[in-house]
Amino acid sequence: MTGTGAGSPPVIEATVDELAARVRRVLAGSATVAPRILLGLCGAPGSGKSTLAAALVELLGAGTAAIVPMDGFHLATDLIRGTPLAERRGAIDTFDPGSYLSLLRRLRARDEDVVYAPSFRRGLEEPIAASIAVPRSVPVVITEGNYLLADAPVWRELRGELDAVWFVDVPDAVRLPRLIGRHVRFGRDKADAAAFAAGSDQANADLIERTRDRADLILRLTD
């Protein structure tokens, strides 16, 4: 599951079942190596990170794995309302990486009975504090987000807390319609959704693409 996270990472094609089996193999051999496995899923908006994370947890079992999304560390709408950040929500500077890093370190330590993490409710477009419970007994934490591999202050420290980061690689021909559809489902009209996907979202995607060489592997999902 792990690699160097440097140079040109290997590209693999795999099904979700095969990826879950990969995690199980690492888990089986890690009992005396690490207190907990932290796996990161990175990729551009609309690449399917959240869907993959949920599918992995379903296959591994809720008692084995939990999801902690980076999106739980969005800055609140009230905080950025009326500022330039409001028009770029989802950009790297509209998150709180320090709190995210602190949470990952607590999860890594595995010395609390339960660690509570925030989620992000798309229907509200708001982070919800302490809405995910990660018991000490859970040995795998999957965290997914756009900027896990970003080479920027604080963000670059995240990489060191993760045992592996998989970069989810999806063609734009698949990713963009999926992203526009998501924006429409959560309240934007189609024209506004397409404009946001081509503007702020694409700027974010370009930044994320430049970080892919810091991943352990490039992942292309197959059926």
Q: What is the pLDDT of residues 90-141, one digit of tens each?
A: 999 999 999 999 999 999 999 999 999 999 998 888 999 999 999 999 999 9
Whether the CA torsion 90, 59, 104, 118 is positive or negative: it is positive
The residues spanned by each domain of the chain are 11-221
Q: How far is Cα 129 from Cα 119, in angstroms, rounded to an integer?
A: 7
Mean pLDDT of the chain: 93
What fold is seen in the domain 11-221? Rossmann fold (3.40.50)
E-assigned strand segments in 43-88? 65-69
* Strand partners for 121: 126
Q: Which two tokens mark 16?
A: 């979700």
One digit per residue, pLDDT tens: the chain, 223 residues? 654 455 799 999 999 999 999 999 999 887 655 579 999 999 999 999 999 999 999 999 999 999 999 999 999 999 999 999 998 999 999 999 999 999 999 999 999 999 999 999 988 889 999 999 999 999 999 999 999 999 999 999 999 999 999 999 999 999 999 999 998 998 899 998 888 889 999 999 999 999 999 999 999 999 8
d(CA 140, CA 39): 7
